[in-house]
Amino acid sequence: MAEIQKGIISTIEGPKDGKGNYTRAKVAPDQYGSALTKPLVIDKPLRGTDGGLKKGTPVIYVVFPDLTGMILCRADGELPGSK
């Protein structure tokens, strides 16, 4: 069963998409201390300057039983690239 969790971005990493934005990030879960997730997919609207994700950004994400997952949104409610 998938789990939706909250955590803090630890690293943003490749591969890059067609616009040159990184597509993965590792997250430090709030409830599990320092154990990082495997690289999670960054949802396309959150990539690059649109989402403004960086180390330390709080996020909401989902992890599936096979340990793959996706960052769904920022947990602080901000979306820097929106107008």
pLDDT single digits (tens) 25-52: 999 998 766 689 999 999 999 999 989 9
The residue with greater pLDDT, 20 or 35, is: 20
> Which residue's entry shows tokens 């396309």?
44
Q: Please, are residues 47 and 22 in contact by the beta-carbon 8 Å criterion?
A: yes
User: How high is the pLDDT of residue 39?
Assistant: 97
pTM comes to 0.88
Q: Any idea which fold 3-74 has?
A: OB fold (Dihydrolipoamide Acetyltransferase, E2P) (2.40.50)
Name the DSSP class of 50. H
